[in-house]
Chains A and B, each alone.
Chain A
């Protein structure tokens, strides 16, 4: 009998608790989620009775919070582009070099990040001023400036080294995370063009240079308040050089470094015959390249739509959709161009390059153009990338195993030009301190087009010269290229100490062609 009484009394007390809970009107479960979040959730000195000021403060905090969350999640998406690059580059190269190619794509992330943390971020954003969408903090407030033609030319920032001092701020950290993954995108582009012959030690040092100096300086000129951003204010050229998410800052920079690197390093053994005609060196894994391309296209939503640094800027709907449209027309154009014009086959590796070319090209203009323009920009990019691949290999005699120069360099330039042509004047009021929206040549914005051209030319000259200097310097220190016997054997064991595909016998497809 005793245990029955015990259970009964437990039951009774539970029921009493439940009843009293209901009687006190504490919130019950809300399966629909429609009544969770009430006036009680507004921070107020008298709970449940916020003043108007307190409601307004909460609204402001929430707006900035949405922008923080948006920027961070977009940054996480862009971070995931790293495996995309790794897979595209490794898939389009040979099986005997997979451990080396993958390792470059892997280590560029930590190396570039630390370089950017040490000083890259400070040089790029140290003079940006108030962080508008992230709460307006103004601790990054010093730009090194020289005077030319009686106008200030901002060259680099000087606040925020090691994210310390006045940079120890939640908004600055958020900006760092987002901008660091952009820098890493640039840093990993040349690993594709230089694959299968680049000495790992040389790559290692390069990754530090790109994160500390090469990328941040040009980035400052466009995004950190430097002289290209000020072309509008100083010389009346539109809104200055406008690059929404980095066709020039990120992609063209990576493409130009790749161009210089591929030129200095020379082609892979067997790539060209004595008469200059190229030998194909087929990549070992098309499925890997295709999956990598999809991962990149996915990450690109963070890349472009995240570049508002504001989830409360509803232009993100237009930006994301323009991005996906251009990726589609880029892939379509490259496929059809190969299939109908250049060869008789649609060519999977060019499909991938085409989609990426469309994405690179829409990166600068994505926020400023309508959907038809986005489709046209992608279509042009798809044809341009195929022709650039033929031109770089056939005419320039440069060896770019994965098409990085064509995808990122050529189409990065095209993306910036496209902004100067197609920007339709529906967005960008106040961009770079200029009132009025951004208009391209087709909408009456001649000076904007000129600013875009100046941006592209400056990128080519600056990035070309500094990467030439950096590669030459590294070559003097440690040498850029592996020995021929290493290249023939495959870089995996001599450079990395391990084969990428242990237990798999590689066949003739991994061999080096003989130059005739």
Chain B
């Protein structure tokens, strides 16, 4: 099992959710976060003085899937979230040791 963690633009969330539905992905978790990548935020100005807003709003999506689904789902996310411009985000994939469904007590892939 793998956990897919995708950092995307907030305005792309709806498209990504639709795309995930189309590829029949299991449940997902969403967190509103702030952060920056290599480019370090946006320059704004206030009364003629420039300043940098280093932390920009992003959305983090977390999905735990079977190993064979990783490719399909990461592709769906990246296709939907891509604009080709700076700030599109990143996708991380981690191994998951175990899963437990609280209601039934099922474990492992059965619990996904």
Contact = CB atoms under 8 A, between A and B. Distances in A.
Contacts of A343: 45, 48, 50
Interface stretch (A132-140, A155-163, A280-288, A310-318): A280-288
A349 B46 contact: yes
A350 B48 contact: yes
A347 B48 contact: yes
A389 B48 contact: yes
Contact of B51 (A279, A345, A349, A390): A279
Contact of B45 (A347, A389, A403): A347
B57 to A, nearest CB: 10
Interface string B2-38: 0000000000000000000000000000000000000
A343 B51 CA distance: 13
B39 interface: no
Interface in A2-55: none
A345 B45 contact: yes
B47 A349 contact: yes
B48 A281 contact: no
Contacts of A386: 48
A93 to B, nearest CB: 12
A403 B48 contact: no
Most chain A CB within 10 A, of B45, B48, B50, B51, is at B48
Interface string A329-369: 00000000010001101010110000000000000000000
A281 B46 CA distance: 7
A278 B49 contact: yes
A345 B50 CA distance: 11
Most chain A CB within 10 A, of B47, B49, B50, is at B47
A278 B47 CA distance: 11
Contacts of B50: 280, 343
Interface residues of A, number: 19
B55 A280 contact: no
Contacts of B48: 338, 342-343, 347, 350, 386, 389-390
Contacts of B49: 278-280, 393
A455 to B, nearest CB: 30
A282 B55 contact: no
A508 interface: yes
A508 B49 CA distance: 18
A195 to B, nearest CB: 14
B68 interface: no
B47 A403 contact: yes
A349 B46 CA distance: 8
A403 B50 CA distance: 17
B54 to A, nearest CB: 9
Nearest to B47: A349
A389 B55 contact: no
A279 B50 CA distance: 9
A278 B48 CA distance: 11
B102 to A, nearest CB: 30
Interface string A402-420: 0100000000000000000
Given A282-B44, A347-B45, A350-B47, 20 more contacts: A279-B49, A280-B45, A280-B46, A280-B47, A280-B49, A280-B50, A281-B46, A282-B51, A342-B48, A343-B48, A345-B45, A347-B47, A347-B48, A349-B46, A349-B47, A386-B48, A389-B47, A389-B48, A390-B48, A393-B49
Per CB-CB distance, the 10 closest pairs between chain A and chain B, nearest first, are A280-B46, A280-B49, A282-B46, A280-B51, A342-B48, A349-B47, A343-B48, A343-B45, A345-B45, A278-B49
23 contacts: A278-B49, A279-B49, A280-B45, A280-B49, A280-B50, A280-B51, A281-B46, A282-B44, A282-B46, A282-B51, A342-B48, A343-B45, A343-B48, A345-B45, A347-B47, A347-B48, A349-B47, A350-B48, A386-B48, A389-B47, A390-B48, A393-B49, A403-B47
